[in-house]
Structure 1
Amino acid sequence: MPETPATTDTLLHRTARGAGWVMAWRWGMRALGLVSTLILVRLIAPADFGIIALATSFMQTIDGMLTLGTEEAVIRERAPGRDFYDTAFTMNLLRGLSVTALVAALAWPAAHFYDDPRLGPVLLFIAALPLLDGLSNIGTVDFRRDLTFHKEFAIMVLPKLAGIIAAISAAFLTHSYVAMLCGIAANRSLRVVMSYVMHPFRPRLSLTAWQGLAGYSVWTWVLSLAVLVRDRADSLMLGRMMNTTAVGFYAVGAEIAALPMTDLIEPLGRAAFSGFAAARTHAVDLAETWLRLIGSAALLTLPAGVGLSLVAAPLVALAFGPGWDEAVPVLRILSLSFTILVFGHMSEHLLSVHALLGRLVGMTLLGAAVRVALLFALIPPLGLTGAALAAAIGILVDQTLRVGSTMRHFRIRVTRLLAQVWRPACATAAMAAVLIWTGLGWTNATGTLPLIAATILGAVVYSGMLLLCWWAAGSPSGPERDLLTVLRRKAASL
């Protein structure tokens, strides 16, 4: 069926609306987590927080190493039948059982290694979580297939709220880490129950369609291992070549720099994967969809990333207080490099929908190799700044490979990509120039007033320059019009 503009516009609107729900879910979870932490820190000792953090980090590392991507496989399948869903459920259950068994087997050795006898029982409890997740109703993947993310929002946020209530209630009674375990148990258990309440599908044990899932799942597993190696290299090598204090400074700078990625790009990517799968199923122009999504995301991510770099010093001082100055150069460098993640992230999802995972693994390993080599070369002479530069160059290599591969595979000309992003790029450059000229950008001055002034001035300059460029270009179809359309629809609904 030939693609029509209305089809593309409708798909983009549904994807944008889905991304909005995912962002609301992320921000809602952050807000609930913050409220929970502020209350629990007054009822539970710091050491108890540490034991839960260590146990969950241990479990999540093993869990990440066994990622299969069965939900993504169902989403990208054009017409998955009953057998496909049942096989995906069974593979999720087997994966959960494997992670549970592995964490349980390592519980007491880990407690001995960390010299904390409390860790053993906690890990045995935490080990049950992957198995519990494996029991979730695979039918809820339809919410992502159909871009009805408001239902997924309910499944995630309501159990989180119940878990917080359970944790706080137990904390008043126990004043120990047991309260946090109660909250985790309530959250995960209710999430499983809600998956069956909100979707009528009832899975059965079956591996009939394993061949249709195996190839995609194996490559997803290999890709997750490659990403794990790439993303953990910085901290591991800093800890080895410098010290744990340096790791702390780097982690703080990297976490702030990643905020546009975690709060904007990843939610959009989750919705975009479903959008790309729907475009592939309905024969919509995938290249146009990819370009429009990148253009829309760049409106927010480019000024956010560059803006974080420009106000790094006052932001770190305000957020963390004195003594964290060494995190500033890390934030300045990494936030600049993270601005380009939207290009590679969207490319990764598009390539994944077309099952080109082997290509993604190769590009990820090459980017990781460049990153590790540069870490070895730059940390000794430059310290934290060298580590940030190595990571930034590695990110640039990785993202360039992903975008180049996508453009070659789908025969997308560079001029089409530039047409989508040149206006937000020019507006971001104008914002940076004005802030540097006024002394508010890339300054070591601290204090709340410079941060507020830079934020307001930067927003005004960016918005004005963006609209001016769009008007000068003849108000073409693109991310600006997409954003205005979404805002108008939201205003009309209100």
Structure 2
Amino acid sequence: MAWLMASRLMARGIDFTTLIVLARTLSPQDFGLISVAMTLIFIVEAVSELPIVQSLVRLDQIGRSHLDTAFTIGVLRGAILAIVIAGAAWPFSWAYADPRLVPLILFLALSPIARGLQSPAMVQYARRIDFRRDLVIEIVSKVFGFSVAVVLAVTTHSYWAIAAGTVITPVASMVQSYCFAPFRPRLGLTQWRSFAGFLGWASLAQALAALSWQSDKLILGRFISKSDLGHFSMAADLSSVPEQVLVTPAMRPLMAGFVTMKESRERMARAYLRISQTLLTIAAPGMIGLSLVADQVVPVVLGGNWISSIPMLRWLALAPVFVVWVSPLDPMAMAMDRTSIFLRQRVVEILVKLPLLIALIWHYGVMGAVIGRVATNAILMLVTMGYVRKLVGLGIVAQLLAPWRIALATAGMAAAILLLPDAMRQSLSLVAVIGTVVLGAAVYGAILLGSWAAVGRPEGPESMVVDRLSQIGRRFGQRGRA
């Protein structure tokens, strides 16, 4: 988890720098156009997404034939994806009354195809829970994407800069995967049965998830301007940063960890609860803190063109908290071979989200989409907690009350920021923003550690941090005496 979080932190740092340069070079209309094009790409890619790596990780033994089958599935998926996107590009551009979408969509389709053709031999490192190479691959790929996007943005001031950076990154990642995990591609489906059952449920669930994930942008794209859609997309991208940096990287090693304890529901329950609290401890203050300082972050970081994104970001930053709360369910269900749960989750999500979004967007426009995303995530969190109860016996009330110390610390952080003098809270200087963030982090950490000590120092993220700091202190002490 540490290696993956480090790689994602640095990668998102590069993404954030890219976003700042592009936001100050291009217009909200450019971002809105790319957002519309990427909506189709995301949906088709997600519908055709196959958890090939997860399928390989769960196998007891992996032979050459398994890798050949995994590669062949990736090739077939890429071919189908290309045909579907090519066929949908013109009708999609007609529906949104913008002919620029056709070449843009066809070019952006290279991105998911490249992602699906990475070396399947990389699974050997995932099975050993060794992700150091992932750090190198992700950082180098992001640097390539950053360089291309920034050079084109500065020289051309065209939306093609965003598209080029989007495509270059997965292509660079694909090339590196074969450098770190050499594999001579060979077509074959002899081990299809090892993948079929696992991929079936997951793929069907993924198809419904794709519709849900992009439903707000699909609906908004028909009723609001490209500029307004660009503001919404920017707010959504910023709100996802804490989750993508701190939570998403943890999912891959968690599945391998859950596999080692899948025979004991009690161990699984304890592990689930501890992981959920650890992820919330790390991510919740970042998400809620971003909501609190949205009116400072947007103009300071992105510039005056993006002021309209502030109210959207203030609410959208809260939505991922509900997702993080129950995020360990996915790797746990995969480890237990209970992927049929994903389909039931997605059906509930579609039935709740689509009617809610349509009604809210119809009455409140873009802010209706914002409210709909937050409300849907909160409802789905409770639904997911019900599935956790069925899998490992953890009650919903126990899951809701478990992170009470995190809630206390976050409330203290929010109070400290809201009680700051207006001059500091409304200041648009980078120093004021950094000062506000540092104060909030200090208050959060102090309350969290204080409450942890008050309840007897239970095992958890605080104990891991304190133990690691103690080890470092002892090492320095020994070196000093030596």
Helix, strand or coil at the partner of 1:147: coil
2:428 matched to 1:447?
A: yes
Counterpart in the other structure of 2:465: 483
Structure 1 unmatched runs, 5+: 1-18
Cα deviations by residue, 1:39-83 (Å, 9 ceiling, x for unpaired) = 899999999999988766654442222111111111223334443
**Once structures 1 and 2 are overlaid, which stretch shifts more, 184-193 or 310-319?**
184-193
Counterpart in the other structure of 1:7: none
Is the alpha carbon distance of 1:450 and 1:352 closer, same or farther for their aligned partners in structure 2, counting shifts above 3 Å? same
How far apart, CA to CA, are the structure 2 residues paired with 1:174 and 1:289? 51
Whether contact under 8 Å (2:137, 2:177) holds in the other structure is: yes
Whether contact under 8 Å (2:8, 2:138) holds in the other structure is: no
**Once structures 1 and 2 are overlaid, which stretch shifts more, 232-241 or 362-371?**
232-241
Is the alpha carbon distance of 1:284 and 1:254 closer, same or farther for their aligned partners in structure 2, counting shifts above 3 Å? same
2:58 matched to 1:76?
A: yes
How far apart, CA to CA, are the structure 2 residues paired with 1:249 and 1:36? 17
How far apart, CA to CA, are the structure 2 residues paired with 1:328 and 1:172? 26
Counterpart in the other structure of 2:277: 295
How far apart, CA to CA, are the structure 2 residues paired with 1:172 and 1:334? 30
Is the alpha carbon distance of 1:369 and 1:41 closer, same or farther for their aligned partners in structure 2, counting shifts above 3 Å? closer
Whether contact under 8 Å (1:97, 1:130) holds in the other structure is: no
Counterpart in the other structure of 1:352: 334
**Once structures 1 and 2 are overlaid, which stretch shifts more, 195-204 or 37-46?**
37-46
Is the alpha carbon distance of 1:331 and 1:163 closer, same or farther for their aligned partners in structure 2, counting shifts above 3 Å? closer
Q: Once the 2 structures are TM-superposed, how far is the Cα of residue 134 of structure 1 from its aligned partner?
A: 4.5
Counterpart in the other structure of 1:140: 122
* AA aligned opposite 2:238: I
The correspondence for 2:232, drawn from 243, 250, 256, is 250
Whether contact under 8 Å (2:315, 2:370) holds in the other structure is: yes
Q: Once the 2 structures are TM-superposed, how far is the Cα of residue 180 of structure 1 from its aligned partner?
A: 8.4
Aligned residues: 474
* AA aligned opposite 1:221: S
The correspondence for 1:434, drawn from 416, 420, 442, is 416
Counterpart in the other structure of 1:13: none
Whether contact under 8 Å (1:430, 1:462) holds in the other structure is: yes
Counterpart in the other structure of 2:349: 367
Counterpart in the other structure of 1:226: 208
* AA aligned opposite 2:201: W
Structure 2 unmatched runs, 5+: 477-482
Q: TM-score, normalised by structure 2?
A: 0.81
The correspondence for 2:259, drawn from 255, 277, 284, is 277
Is the alpha carbon distance of 1:183 and 1:413 closer, same or farther for their aligned partners in structure 2, counting shifts above 3 Å? closer
Cα deviations by residue, 1:145-170 (Å, 9 ceiling, x for unpaired) = 21111112223333444566677899
Cα deviations by residue, 1:309-331 (Å, 9 ceiling, x for unpaired) = 22232223323444655433332
**Once structures 1 and 2 are overlaid, which stretch shifts more, 458-467 or 50-59?**
50-59
Q: Once the 2 structures are TM-superposed, how far is the Cα of residue 299 of structure 1 from its aligned partner?
A: 1.3
Task: For 1:3-22, list aligned pairs within 5 A.
Answer: 19-22=1-4
* AA aligned opposite 2:428: G
How far apart, CA to CA, are the structure 1 residues paired with 2:454 and 2:463? 14
Q: Once the 2 structures are TM-superposed, how far is the Cα of residue 294 of structure 1 from its aligned partner?
A: 1.3
Counterpart in the other structure of 1:238: 220
Q: Once the 2 structures are TM-superposed, how far is the Cα of residue 230 of structure 1 from its aligned partner?
A: 1.5
Cα deviations by residue, 1:381-404 (Å, 9 ceiling, x for unpaired) = 544444322221211111111122
2:309 matched to 1:327?
A: yes
How far apart, CA to CA, are the structure 2 residues paired with 1:426 and 1:416? 17
2:455 matched to 1:473?
A: yes
2:253 matched to 1:264?
A: no
**Once structures 1 and 2 are overlaid, which stretch shifts more, 462-471 or 334-343?**
334-343
Whether contact under 8 Å (1:253, 1:330) holds in the other structure is: yes
Task: For 1:370-381, list aligned pairs within 5 A.
Answer: 370-381=352-363
Is the alpha carbon distance of 1:38 and 1:264 closer, same or farther for their aligned partners in structure 2, counting shifts above 3 Å? closer
Whether contact under 8 Å (2:29, 2:230) holds in the other structure is: no
Is the alpha carbon distance of 1:237 and 1:173 closer, same or farther for their aligned partners in structure 2, counting shifts above 3 Å? closer
2:354 matched to 1:400?
A: no
Whether contact under 8 Å (1:344, 1:402) holds in the other structure is: yes
Counterpart in the other structure of 2:179: 197
Counterpart in the other structure of 1:458: 440
Whether contact under 8 Å (1:337, 1:395) holds in the other structure is: yes
Counterpart in the other structure of 1:9: none
Cα deviations by residue, 1:276-322 (Å, 9 ceiling, x for unpaired) = 23443899922222222112112122222222222232223323444
How far apart, CA to CA, are the structure 1 residues paired with 2:240 and 2:117? 32
Is the alpha carbon distance of 1:321 and 1:69 closer, same or farther for their aligned partners in structure 2, counting shifts above 3 Å? same
Whether contact under 8 Å (1:253, 1:331) holds in the other structure is: yes
Is the alpha carbon distance of 1:182 and 1:470 closer, same or farther for their aligned partners in structure 2, counting shifts above 3 Å? closer
* AA aligned opposite 1:447: L
Q: Once the 2 structures are TM-superposed, how far is the Cα of residue 472 of structure 1 from its aligned partner?
A: 0.6
Is the alpha carbon distance of 1:183 and 1:80 closer, same or farther for their aligned partners in structure 2, counting shifts above 3 Å? same
How far apart, CA to CA, are the structure 2 residues paired with 1:175 and 1:317? 21
Whether contact under 8 Å (2:295, 2:310) holds in the other structure is: yes
Whether contact under 8 Å (1:90, 1:206) holds in the other structure is: yes
Q: Once the 2 structures are TM-superposed, how far is the Cα of residue 451 of structure 1 from its aligned partner?
A: 3.7
Is the alpha carbon distance of 1:159 and 1:466 closer, same or farther for their aligned partners in structure 2, counting shifts above 3 Å? closer
Is the alpha carbon distance of 1:191 and 1:491 closer, same or farther for their aligned partners in structure 2, counting shifts above 3 Å? farther
**Once structures 1 and 2 are overlaid, which stretch shifts more, 131-140 or 62-71?**
131-140
The correspondence for 1:158, drawn from 120, 140, 148, is 140
CA RMSD of aligned residues (A): 4.2
* AA aligned opposite 1:290: Y
Counterpart in the other structure of 2:480: none
Q: TM-score, normalised by structure 1?
A: 0.79
Counterpart in the other structure of 2:195: 213
Whether contact under 8 Å (1:249, 1:327) holds in the other structure is: yes
* AA aligned opposite 1:23: M
Is the alpha carbon distance of 1:416 and 1:486 closer, same or farther for their aligned partners in structure 2, counting shifts above 3 Å? farther
**Once structures 1 and 2 are overlaid, which stretch shifts more, 466-475 or 273-282?**
273-282
Helix, strand or coil at the partner of 2:413: helix
How far apart, CA to CA, are the structure 2 residues paired with 1:183 and 1:24? 22
Is the alpha carbon distance of 1:162 and 1:480 closer, same or farther for their aligned partners in structure 2, counting shifts above 3 Å? same
* AA aligned opposite 2:255: F
How far apart, CA to CA, are the structure 2 residues paired with 1:412 and 1:317? 44
Is the alpha carbon distance of 1:430 and 1:42 closer, same or farther for their aligned partners in structure 2, counting shifts above 3 Å? closer
